[in-house]
């Protein structure tokens, strides 16, 4: 759980209070809520459980050289109003090799 909390913090996916997670290894309500945000980003079933699909998605994201340090903030506008702000990892950028 500590690994997941560290990765969520690295990906700038914050808790419901817009704070980084405390890396304590506990699966409390803030961690569960943040896991749900990640599941939404990864287009997985949203249950807040850190199962194999979540860990696989985190591993894939964190192994990308650019993604390990870069997160894209995407604002979705509807009818010229800001409706939702999502933290999204744009995998196209992760595929770019700078070497």
CATH no. for residue 60? 1.10.101
| Domain span at 30 | 2-94
**Residues whose CB is less than 8 angstroms from the CB of residue 46 and which lie 6 or more positions away in sequence, other chains included:** 36, 39, 40
Q: Residue ranges of the chain with pLDDT lower than 50?
A: 67-99
Domain count of the chain?
1
In a domain, 38, yes or no: yes
Q: What is the structure's pLDDT at 72?
A: 46
Instruction: Determine whether 52 is exposed, middle or buried from the number of CB atoms within 10 Å of its CB (0-12, 13-18, 19+).
Output: exposed
Q: Is residue 78 part of a domain?
A: yes
Residue 99 belongs to some domain of the structure: no
Q: Are 77 and 83 in contact (CB under 8 A)?
A: yes
Q: What is the pTM of this model?
A: 0.66
In the numeric block, which tokens belong to residue 57? 């998605």
| pLDDT number for residue 33 | 96
């Amino acid at each position: 759980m500590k690994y997941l909390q560290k990765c969520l913090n690295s990906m700038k996916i914050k808790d419901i209070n817009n704070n980084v997670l405390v890396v304590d290894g506990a699966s409390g309500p803030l961690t569960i809520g943040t896991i749900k945000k990640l599941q939404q980003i990864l287009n997985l079933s949203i249950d807040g459980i850190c199962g194999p699909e979540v860990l696989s998605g985190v591993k894939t994201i964190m192994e990308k050289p650019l993604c390990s340090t870069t997160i894209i903030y995407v604002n979705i506008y509807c009818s010229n109003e800001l409706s939702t702000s999502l933290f999204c990892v744009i995998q196209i950028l992760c595929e770019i090799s700078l070497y």
